[in-house]
Amino acid sequence: MNEAVSMRDEAYWENLVKRSLCRFLLLAQLDRGPVHGYGLNQAIKEACQGCCEPTEAMVYSTVKELEEGGYVECRVEEHRGRQRRVCWLTPSGQEALRAAARVWEKMLPRVHETVAQAMGQHNGVGTAGTIQNGRDTMTANTPTNPEEVKELVRNRYGAKARRVIELTPAPSSNCGDSGCCGPADLDRALRLYSEGQINGLPASVVAASAGCGNPTAMASLRPGERVLDLGSGGGIDCFLAAQQVGATGRVIGLDMTPDMLELARRNQAKLGVTNVEFIRGELENIPLPAASVDVVISNCVVVLSPDKDAVFRGAFRVLAPGGRMHISDMMALTQEGPVRTDPEAWASCIAGAEHREVYLGRLRRAGFVDIQVTEENLHFDGEGMPQNVASVKVVAHKPA
């Protein structure tokens, strides 16, 4: 899917209009009564009449957004032997529709006039050569070498660990941290982990979670297996893995941030877990013997590495023959890469995302086979604009 990558592209501005229009049309269609998913996509397509038609992914993500906001309710029902999702407006959604209709009716008649007037006042805005390279401007402060990237990541996640240790509020940032050990931390964790998984975990374990998935849920870990977690952070995935591999298994958490390691060991002491060990090291140079683990997991950490080839070569080396890797990570949707490549975006797991073919090519060159990518979830910024990245689940195997 080709999403906006720069304010220089028409697609960027088209997506602004599409997303706003998509919200309005969804509310309008659902106000007519319950609609199932496929019917909703068809209704939106017909309503657009070929103009500003949103993609199916945009319709899906907007429905999810409206549902989370309490404007839409959905349920799964049986229809001709198959399950389908049916949605309808809540009273809050009906109020939102009326408010949106008033704004559209008030603003639309003047949009063309306003744009024409603005173009007249700023003659040449649309011509080549009068606008600076947006991507170059955006990336002026982007880290320029691997060590700078690592230091940026180390500082960012070290600060997060210290906040959790000290139970102090987090400063506002673009990545949505609203505090430490508060409702936002729990809500975020519940989007990735089941309630049963996080029940009984200390608040400091939940608060330190910074991933984009739940690698232990797809790894099908077995008793006695040896597991390595790349970028283990506060330890949540290690502790969940430890439950699955049992007393005869072993879990190793690898992290390069001293404060995160301190936090993870504190969390381990609180839980009394004895089959987990946290060690310091970098993903690009894993300090373990060859063929020493059965499973490698990682949760939105490979994307932070400036040398993903080294990460995958190292993971392949430490895996025993027949071993497997299960990781949650970020990928770019198009060859152009993420919309944002500034330092904050690097630390927020956005700027380091690579296109699927580049990413999978690195895995193949490292020696992995039977590679699968599943569950792409698009990511948007705080204003609902696509970041041209998606969180994915990747499974790869080392030949026996």
Residues 361-384 pLDDT 10s: 999 999 999 999 886 667 665 556
Q: Say what the pLDDT of residue 103 is.
A: 76
Q: Say what the pLDDT of residue 348 is.
A: 62
Q: Residue 200 to residues 205, 240, 271, 322: CA-CA distances in angstroms?
A: 10, 11, 9, 34
* Cα(123)–Cα(141) distance, integer angstroms: 30
Report the run of H or E that residue 355 belongs to, with start and end.
strand 354-355
Residue 351 has pLDDT above 50, yes or no: yes
Residues 215-269 pLDDT 10s: 766 668 999 999 999 998 888 889 999 999 999 999 999 998 888 899 899 989 9
Confidence class of residue 131 from pLDDT cuts 50, 70 and 90?
very low
Q: Residue 77 to residues 27, 37, 65, 80, 325: CA-CA distances in angstroms?
A: 21, 11, 21, 10, 36
Percentage with pLDDT > 90 across the chain: 24
* Cα(2)–Cα(334) distance, integer angstroms: 6
Label residue 321 exposed, middle or buried (CB < 10 Å: 0-12, 13-18, 19+).
exposed
* Cα(212)–Cα(210) distance, integer angstroms: 7
Residue 83 has pLDDT above 50, yes or no: yes
Q: Look at 224 and 203; give whichever has higher pLDDT.
A: 224
- Kindly provide the b/e burial profile for residues 167-205, where b requires at least 16 CB atoms within 10 angstroms of the residue's own CB: eeebeeeebebebbbeeebbebbeebbeeebbeebbbbb
* Cα(157)–Cα(256) distance, integer angstroms: 10
* Cα(384)–Cα(347) distance, integer angstroms: 20
Q: What mean pLDDT, rounded, does the chain reach?
A: 75
Q: Residue 60 to residues 41, 283, 343: CA-CA distances in angstroms?
A: 9, 35, 30
Which domains are assigned to the chain?
A: 10-121 (1.10.10.10), 146-397 (3.40.50.150)
Least confident window among 122-136, 222-236, 382-396: 122-136
* Cα(298)–Cα(210) distance, integer angstroms: 11
Both tokens of 59, joined, read 């319709």
Residues 277-299 pLDDT 10s: 999 999 999 999 999 999 999 98
Task: Phi first, then psi: give them for residue 330, nearest 5 degrees.
Answer: -115, 140
Rounded to 10 degrees, what is the CA torsion of 156, 160, 161, 165?
150
Which residue has tokens 């026996």? 400
Q: Look at 48 and 130; give whichever has higher pLDDT.
A: 48
Q: How many helices (H) and strands (E) does the chain have?
A: 15, 11
Confidence class of residue 356 from pLDDT cuts 50, 70 and 90?
confident
Label residue 135 exposed, middle or buried (CB < 10 Å: 0-12, 13-18, 19+).
middle
Angle, alpha carbons 145-150-154 (nearest 5°):
150
Q: Say what the pLDDT of residue 171 is.
A: 46
Q: Look at 153 and 91; give whichever has higher pLDDT.
A: 91
* Cα(154)–Cα(156) distance, integer angstroms: 6
Say which DSSP state 159 is in.
H
Q: Say what the pLDDT of residue 316 is.
A: 97
Confidence class of residue 211 from pLDDT cuts 50, 70 and 90?
low
